[in-house]
Structure 1
Amino acid sequence: MARGGYVWWYVDALSDDGRNGLTIIAFIGSVFSPYYVWDARQDPFAHCAINVVLYGADKRFAMTERNARSLARDAASIAIGPSSLRWDGSVLTIHLDERSAPIPRALRGTVRVRPQAITAQPFTLDSQGLHRWWPMAPSCEVEAAFTAPDLAWRGSGYLDTNDGDGRLEDAFTDWTWCRASMKRGSAILYDVRRKDGSSQNLTLRFDGDGRRREMPAPLAAALPRTNFWKMPRSTRSDDGQARVVETFEDTPFYARSLLASTLDGEQVRPVHESLSLGRFRHPAVQFMLPFRMPRRIA
């Protein structure tokens, strides 16, 4: 892996009753780590982490960074500290044993992700081909069973992976992304703005069997900034309108939200994220991040 490079695997899911949700991201080369920014060697294997966020009545956030001695991996699995992900050909099983921050509480459980199908190809996000994204399984069944907190639910989810040969903030200024479950499969919008002034707007639609189908490009739709950190948000929809149902995460450089909009003729509830890499590099943000992202040397 290149200096400053990274790979991550991303899962999000919402419960069938709409009361709970989660995001899990396993990083080699933790791209949002202040320690990685400060590391003159830019060694991705020295900066590994599993980020877990629970949404609902008992919201929790955990992201402990660890070094290469805490990493173990093979063709079917990856373990970072006490947590792990394993793929058996049909199910991704995620065992979690983390501790939240800044309030230290246990976050333990097992999440099983069953993709309906695997898509055919990754997509390049930058003009030089250094940053790649593969929406591997846009439609998944998810089972979550936690012992800390005491919580169990079933729902629908999404699985993708990103990898790159350099730092994100060297290639991009910001992006917005959203994914929505449809009556047949899923829709994904991914809009990136690059540091060279160019941009890319991806409009993707996948059937339940993973095959891509045509979808008209939606219109730009404005969204309000987040309440606390005033993070800018925007999306696209058929009629150029969308609303925020709930803000899951409101941070200085990142926001995750649940929207209501219309895509490809269907009323949907997309999971949406907005990222500002300019904000991420601000010295004040770098100073605050260790309080949410502690580093443990194993």
Structure 2
Amino acid sequence: MSEDGRHGLTIIAFIGSVFSPYYAWDAARDPFAHCAINVVLYGERANRFAMTERTARSLARDAASFSLGPSSLEWDGSVLTIRLDERSAPIPHAVRGTVRVRPRALTAQPFTLDAPGLHRWWPMAPDCEVEAAFTAPDLAWRGSGYHDTNDGDGALEDSFTDWTWCRAPLKAGSAILYDVRRRDGSGQNLTLRFGADGARREMRPPLEASLPPTGLWRMPRATRSDDGRASVTRTFEDTPFYARSLLASTLDGEAVRPVHESLSLDRFRNPLVRLMLPFRMPRRIG
């Protein structure tokens, strides 16, 4: 994930695409039959959303690389190089370019999001330098970025009802807020600050701050801040079950512009919502 104030970029490599309707409908629940590289690009002149699902026949991976169809990710020990050659949907536009992610430091450990330990999240590199160069559309920039990993042993919608997450760059390091609501009625609010060296720092838990719902789908949004106040600067993504936004707030005494997401898994599991998803998530066999 990267943004520079004018552009935003999210890239997710999936084995077992957790938001895939095809995966949800698959009785075998084989994650390798449902792989995807999701690219979401926001710019002043062009926006793109690409998420083509492919099978294991299009997948190759080892300890340092991951390739799926025409796109790939490769780690050389200091730089993650992502080469993209995808096509957006429902309007087919090329999404082609190279993104280089340079973590300033790596963190020590993952976090468990549910009581049984089925879902794990690791904010591996909370503070990165990102260089993006696209030929389709024609865009290039440098900005602040973030890299994490998720893995799990069950469907997200079986364990959680909703969550909110945000990450804000700070003068030295970054802050991450991750609030999950579990299906058993319990919850977990993570308040994390990492220094520029990747080490975890103490941070006072901020106060609840309300946000307006999104304009089209009325997705609920909420966050936390030092003074219990926050505002939406820009809504990047407004869907029936997910919203991504740029906020203005205060965290650990600093004025910040966090990238924020809201996810409703109650909405996602609605059969009507799942029937809408293939229009944006086409599937290719082979």
TM-score range, shorter chain: over 0.9
In the comparison of the two structures, how many residue pairs are matched? 285
Q: Which residue of 2 aligns with 1:196?
A: 184
Q: What RMSD in Å do the two structures reach over aligned CA positions? A: 0.5
Alpha-carbon offset, residue 190 of structure 1: 0.2
Alignment match of 1:174 (pick from 162, 169, 174): 162
AA aligned to 1:13 is S
Q: Which residue of 2 aligns with 1:84?
A: 72
Residues 1:13 and 2:2 are matched in the alignment: yes
Residues 1:55 and 2:51 are matched in the alignment: no
Mapped to 1, the partners of 2:171 and 2:94 lie a distance apart of 37
Residues 1:214 and 2:202 are matched in the alignment: yes
Q: Which residue of 1 aligns with 2:265?
A: 277
Alignment match of 2:220 (pick from 232, 239, 244): 232
Alpha-carbon offset, residue 80 of structure 1: 1.1
The within-5 A match list for 1:1-298 is 12-15=1-4, 18-56=5-43, 57-298=45-286
1:60-111 deviations in whole A, cap 9, x for unaligned?
A: 1000000111111000011111111110000000000000000001100000
Unaligned runs of 5+ in 1: 1-11
1:190-222 deviations in whole A, cap 9, x for unaligned?
A: 000000110000000000000000000000000
Mapped to 2, the partners of 1:28 and 1:168 lie a distance apart of 14
Unaligned runs of 5+ in 2: none
Alpha-carbon offset, residue 20 of structure 1: 1.0
Alpha-carbon offset, residue 143 of structure 1: 0.3
Alpha-carbon offset, residue 21 of structure 1: 1.3
TM-score (normalised: structure 1): 0.95
AA aligned to 2:49 is F
Mapped to 2, the partners of 1:81 and 1:166 lie a distance apart of 26
Runs (4 or more) in structure 1 with deviation over 3 Å come to none
Mapped to 2, the partners of 1:276 and 1:44 lie a distance apart of 22
Secondary structure at the aligned position of 1:166 is classed as coil
Secondary structure at the aligned position of 1:49 is classed as strand
Mapped to 1, the partners of 2:93 and 2:48 lie a distance apart of 8
TM-score (normalised: structure 2): 0.99
Identical residues among aligned pairs (%): 81
